[in-house]
Amino acid sequence: MTISGRWTRVRIAVCGVVFASLFFAVGRRAFHLQVNDADRLRAMAEEQYLREIELPPRRGRILDRNGADLASTADVDSIYCNPRQLPDPRDAARKLSRILGVDRTDLERKLEQRRFFAWVKRKVTPEEVVAVKALGLPGMAFTREPRRFYPNRSLAATIMGHAGSDGGGLDGVELALDHQLRGTTSSVQGIRDALGRDIAVEGSVEAPSSAGSDVVLTIDRYLTFITERALADGAAAHSAKGAVAIMMDPRTGEILAMASVPTYNPNDPGGAEEAGARDRAITDVYEPGSTMKTFTIASALDAGVVKADDRFDCLMGRMMVGRYSIHDTHPHGVLTVAEVFKFSSNIGATKIARRLGRDAFADALNRFGFGHPTGIGLPGERAGVVRPVDKWGDIGLANISFGQGISVTPLQMIAGVSAIAGGGIYRQPRIIARAVGADGTIETLPVAPDRRVMSASAARTMLGIMRGVTEVGGTARQAAIDGYNVAGKTGTAQKVSNGHYDPSKWVSSFLGVVPAEDPRLAIIVILDEPQGGHLGGAVAAPIFKEIAEQALRYLHVAPTTEGVASGKGAPAAGKEALAAKAPPPATDADEAAANDAPATDLPLDDDALGEDPALAEKWDEVAGTEGGRAAGQPIERVVIPDFAGMSLGQAIHAAHKNGIELAFDDPEGRATGVALRQHPAPGPAPRGVVCRVAFGRQE
């Protein structure tokens, strides 16, 4: 064999070894990839081209206290397509947009991307499905998706909120209990193309999902309906910027109805936020005005510093606080505590708060729930604003006593008055009763324990005093209900604008309890910036009456008296509280305009005045005696003038000048003509004496 032949065999052998080695290496690598790393590589590959598509679950229902549907879920059709199968995407977009009411430009842009999958329109009507099928377009497909329905449209909309297209809650109960309502999310595998875009195979988007829990609310659908209807009519009649009404059972703390104006249709929530639709009962804070006198006097009664028949000199409607003055709409002299409330005297409320003291008053407001959320469990609840007590000063105390310089929510107010109606027990407001799972399990939300905020006897006395508001001469005659005794309070508060009280913007309200003897309902009605009249007794009280009358009939609450308008059937507490003769009863026009307006020239806080050490002395010098005297002090004497022949105005002026309290012996309650006789006779008498004067026509 030649040398060249041997080298040829060597080269062949070397090449064979090299190729054998390469074959072994490739085989080994292939074995490693196909066997040892198969699972890992398969997962990596699927991650590149497979995508898990979540489908919205079927949400649980929202029910009223009687099981009526407020929100439910039903399967509806959604339309999608494979744009690659469309011969003319622009023509298809034109036809589909006309039938489905979608934006043509947006749809055309989606179809021209030539992807394998694109939504045309989700959650369509059966009529739209029929129309699209009639077009006969290639690549069109249909699937079923759950859609949220609100069968009562706008009823209780601001309470429930609404759910989005992905099945998640966006507001109200839908958001607060989204975890319970949402259910179990299901998913299917989608396919991703080489550019990472989502595609799908026809029919692959269908998969079952489990329903969430049903949520039962404390509200009653019918009571909510009558509340919303009366509130909407009243707000429209007065061209109000907004309005809110709440109905609560003071025995349990359950919310029976809660309405806000404006509202919206949660089936079509577009534009709701821009229109101002929200749950104003918890999101809006306001200065309560004279309705705060309810808690001022209740706190003083509970502390034992006043009794219903204690008397305070209301200084004929004007009282100085440093260089500022407090006004009453109508002048009054000496009034009992019950009369201070009945005629809504700002001066009387200020003096009662001064006797109670700042610290005790602040503590009472805290017990009634002001300054912190009620914990009702709905999103967006605000705490209100109660300034620290060390920043009140004398002006701050006066302001808060008649509802200025403090901000509250409507829910806080109704919860507070329900505590009075419930015998002095504060019960946390509740609107969510329970959640019921698909397997029947019941979940109840935690509720704060009941707590006593005032004595039962003081609460009974306060309810008796509150009845005077709807009786002759009170500020809310239009809230009186035939057959039932109503306890309540009107409020008319100026709104703050640019740091000052605006005389053109008002919040009008009425806070009421019925029947007063055995409270079943506590109702608050508030109108924001009503036009053509703003007094709470004329604006909010009639709405309260309309709601309460229908609710009492619906709940089969038996009448408690023969006639409330005449004052018959008054309980002992109320009669004792109002035993003293009141100032002359107002005419129908005057009753609507009784002392229900705030003292508008007081500053918003004490910063303008500061804490003047001499202010208390100046106050007492101007205000005079607050009833009673300290032990050991001499009895002050006054001179009773001769009222014979004086007109009503002349008699009031003379009595005020001499420090005399007047009462009127006029069986018809008009005090017209001139003074004919009086008792006691003219002459010296102790300060605080009541002189009864009979008016009439001289023979």
Distance from C-alpha of 174 to C-alpha of 188, rounded to nearest angstrom: 26
Distance from C-alpha of 530 to C-alpha of 363, rounded to nearest angstrom: 33
Distance from C-alpha of 665 to C-alpha of 669, rounded to nearest angstrom: 8
Q: Smallest Cα–Cα separation from 629: which of 689, 691, 687, 690? A: 687
Distance from C-alpha of 384 to C-alpha of 365, rounded to nearest angstrom: 12
Contacts of 7 (CB under 8 A, 6+ apart): none
Distance from C-alpha of 513 to C-alpha of 452, rounded to nearest angstrom: 19
Tokens of 465: 């005093």
Q: Whole-angstrom distance between the N-terminal and C-terminal Cα of the chain?
A: 169
Q: What are phi and psi of 166, to 5 degrees?
A: -85, 5
How many helices and strands (H and E) does the chain possess? 23, 26
Question: Residue 620: in which H helix or E strand, if any?
Answer: helix 615-623
Question: Tokens 């004490």 label which residue?
Answer: 606
CB atoms under 10 Å from CB of 647, counted, come to 15
Encode 198-225: b = buried (16+ Cβ within 10 Å), e = exposed: ebbeeebbeeebebbbbbbbbbbbbbbb
674-679 and 637-640 as β-strands: parallel, antiparallel, unpaired? unpaired
Q: What is the largest CA-CA distance in the chain?
A: 169
Asked if 248 and 512 count as a contact pair (C-beta separation under 8 A), the reply is no
Question: Residue 205: in which H helix or E strand, if any?
Answer: none
Tokens of 230: 């009366």
Q: What are phi and psi of 258, to 5 degrees?
A: -150, 115
Asked if 641 and 652 count as a contact pair (C-beta separation under 8 A), the reply is no
Name the H helices within 368-455: 393-401, 410-421
What is the 3 state secondary structure string of 10-45? HHHHHHHHHHHHHHHHHHHHHHHHHHHCHHHHHHHH
Name the H helices within 101-193: 104-111, 126-135, 157-160, 172-176, 178-182
Asked if 238 and 201 count as a contact pair (C-beta separation under 8 A), the reply is no
Distance from C-alpha of 193 to C-alpha of 115, rounded to nearest angstrom: 9
| Catalytically active residues, by annotation | 290
Encode 519-552: b = buried (16+ Cβ within 10 Å), e = exposed: bbbbbbbbbbbbeeebbbbbbbbbbbbbbbbbbb
3-state secondary structure of 493: strand
Q: Smallest Cα–Cα separation from 681: which of 667, 673, 693? A: 693
What is the 3 state secondary structure string of 426-446? ECCCECEEEEECCCCCEECCC
Rg (CA), the chain: 37
| Residue 12, burial from CB neighbour count under 10 angstroms (0-12, 13-18, 19+) | exposed
The DSSP code for 292 is G
